[in-house]
Amino acid sequence: MSKRGYHHGNLKQALVEAALKLIAERGPQGFTMAEAAKLADVSAAAPYRHFTGRDDLITELAVQGFELFADVLEYAYKDGQPSPLAAFEAVGRAYLAFARAHPGHYVAMFESGLSPRATAALAAASSRANAVLLRAAGDLSARIPADKRPPTEMFAAHVSAMSHGIVELYARGAPGARAPFSPEDLLESGIGIYLRGLGLLDRDDC
């Protein structure tokens, strides 16, 4: 009896879900289209009804991931409430929470080598997520005198790089395996040091 490749209720999303599991376990180059098809319980030829190949499938994972990421960041930011600093810190925590809760999406978005401009859909989704980071950074850095204020894009990039580094080094696997601190504590203290260096926090502030 043939598999459900031509009668699947939602073949495209079934392949996405299968690929999310595989990419989280093996990385972006660690699975084949045939393996994704097998996990989705469809024929080996069925994926090509929706995707030209593995890269095209990973791009779809990244698009969906950035849309979800933007939703998470927007919810965390809440229009800068209750203060620009609190909202900024909430965005940082949301970054870590997203990476932990959606490892397959995260790998596709940030570790697959995809350009965020690879397709129009990916560019739109990534820009939407980045806009939240830029808004949070801009609202907070507005408190710095203009002649001492870093470009908003640089401010946001520094915090994104810090967040990504903590995800890579300390948020994978068992908590506490590589450091006696939680990823959240590491990020909070790192952001605190960065903000104090910019004059946005007093030295005695936590």
What is the pLDDT at residue 43?
A: 92
**Residues 15-53: tens digit of each pLDDT:** 999 999 999 999 999 999 999 999 999 999 999 999 999
pLDDT for res 1: 36
Cα 196 to chain center, whole Å?
26
**Token pair recorded at residue 28:** 């972006």
- Which of 5-14, 61-70, 144-153, 164-173 is predicted most confidently? 61-70
CA distance 166 to 189: 12
**At 68, is the pLDDT very low, low, confident or very high (cuts 50, 70, 90)?**
very high
- Check: CB of residue 28 under 8 Å from CB of residue 107: yes
Quick check: 178 pLDDT over 70?
no
Q: Supply the pLDDT for residue 177.
A: 58
CA pair distance 130, 31, nearest whole angstrom: 29
DSSP codes joined into one string, 135-148: HHHHHHHTTS-GGG
Domains and CATH numbers, the chain: 1-51 (1.10.10), 54-197 (1.10.357.10)
Q: What percent of the chain has pLDDT over 70?
A: 90
Q: What is the distance between the alpha carbons of residues 58 and 71, in angstroms, rounded to a whole number?
A: 20
9 against 45, higher pLDDT: 45
- For residue range 133-153, what is the model confidence (pLDDT) as tens digits? 999 999 999 988 888 899 999
Comparing 199 with 205, which gets the higher pLDDT? 199
| Residue 175 in this model has a pLDDT that exceeds 80 | no
Q: What is the pLDDT of residue 170?
A: 85
What confidence tier does 180 reach under pLDDT thresholds 50, 70, 90?
confident
In this model, does residue 5 exceed pLDDT 80?
no
**Sign of the alpha-carbon dihedral angle for 31, 35, 37, 41:** negative
CA nearest 102: which of 65, 57, 62, 56?
A: 65
Average confidence (pLDDT) over 88-95: 93
Which band of pLDDT confidence, cut at 50, 70 and 90, is reported for residue 9? low
